[in-house]
Structure 1
Amino acid sequence: MIIVTDTHPWIWFLAASSRLSADAKAALSDRSNLIIVPSIVMLGIRYLYNRKRISVSFGEALQRVETTANILLHPLDISVVTFAPDEFEIHDAIIVGTALYLSDELKEPVPLVTRDKT
């Protein structure tokens, strides 16, 4: 299964935080799943770490992506922009747009792991 992750679940997964739900932890831990990390998630990690709001550094997050075969970064490109919903804040729209774009390309649902309610 291909899964897109939002910023907070990705941070909680990397930090082995108890804030991550059991279902999200299982999905992100399953090596048979392909985890897609939108590039803006990495920017969010850098931003939050530099402001001392999280303990996971950008370098740690990037190393995890680069050294784990089933984790891929996804760039912000015109395909994502085309699928980004207008009703969300820009950061969330990019992440949702990534999942929607991949779902359209693959012709199958691509779940989004998020803490957001909508």
Structure 2
Amino acid sequence: MNLLLDTHVWLWSLLAPERLRHEAVAALEDPENRLYLSPISIWETLLLAERKRIELSGDPNAWVSKVLTEVPIFEAPLTFEMAVVSRTVQLSHEDPADRFLAATALVLDLVLLTADRRLQDCPDLKTLAA
């Protein structure tokens, strides 16, 4: 299965894996699955750190760079098509990060691993509850 990790799932897998459901941990650890991360999640992580909503050890930029070199994950591209789809995806809210993640999953035909009920309820979006 090809999985796109929602930002909180990526962070929880690194900082608080006990917050993830057993099925999510199994999906993350399954060597048959390919894990993808959007550049939007990097942006969102750094924004959360700047706003003191999450605490990362040391400099947030250095932390992200280190994790990306140590933990195997594929970079999901960010394309013009995703920008267009982000405005038409049927979400109940306007969060730009969620819209881009949903659009990325739709355009690349990925399963979005998320604990966000609003994303899980999005029509046409394949999700796995985290």
Band of TM-score, shorter chain: 0.7 to 0.9
- 1:70-117 Cα deviation digits (max 9, x unpaired): x012232212123321544221110011100111xxxxxx21011211
For the residues of structure 1 that align with 2:50 and 2:66, how far apart are their CA atoms? 17
Q: Of 67, 72, 75, which aligns to 2:74? A: 72
Residue 16 of structure 1 is matched in structure 2 by 16
TM-superposed CA distance for 1:14, in Å, is 1.0
Cα distance in 2 for partners of 1:78, 1:39 equals 14
Partner of 1:106: none
The amino acid that maps onto 1:73 is: E
The answer on 1:98 being equivalent to 2:104 is: yes
**Runs of 4+ in structure 1 over 4 Å off:** none
- Provide closer, same or farther for how the CA distance between residues 32 and 55 of structure 1 changes in structure 2, counting only shifts above 3 A: farther
Whichever residue aligns with residue 23 of structure 2, its letter is D
The alpha-carbon distance between structure 1 residues 34 and 63, as it changes in their structure 2 partners (threshold 3 A), is: farther
Q: What is the aligned partner in structure 1 of residue 66 from structure 2?
A: 63
Larger Rg over CA atoms = 2
How many equivalent residue pairs?
Answer: 111
C-alpha distance in 2 between matches for 1:14 and 1:113: 15
Equivalent position SS for 1:52: coil
Q: TM-score, structure 2 length as denominator?
A: 0.73
Deviation at 1:6, TM superposition (A): 0.8
Alpha-carbon distance, 1:58 to partner = 4.2
**1-side partners of 2:26 and 2:55: how far apart?**
22
The residue type paired with residue 80 of structure 1 is M
Q: Give me the whole-angstrom Cα distance separating, in 1, the residues matched to 2:117 and 2:44.
A: 19
Quick one: percent identity of the two aligned structures? Answer: 31
1:50 matches 2:39: no
Matched AA of 1:76: L
Gap regions ≥5 residues in structure 1: 104-109
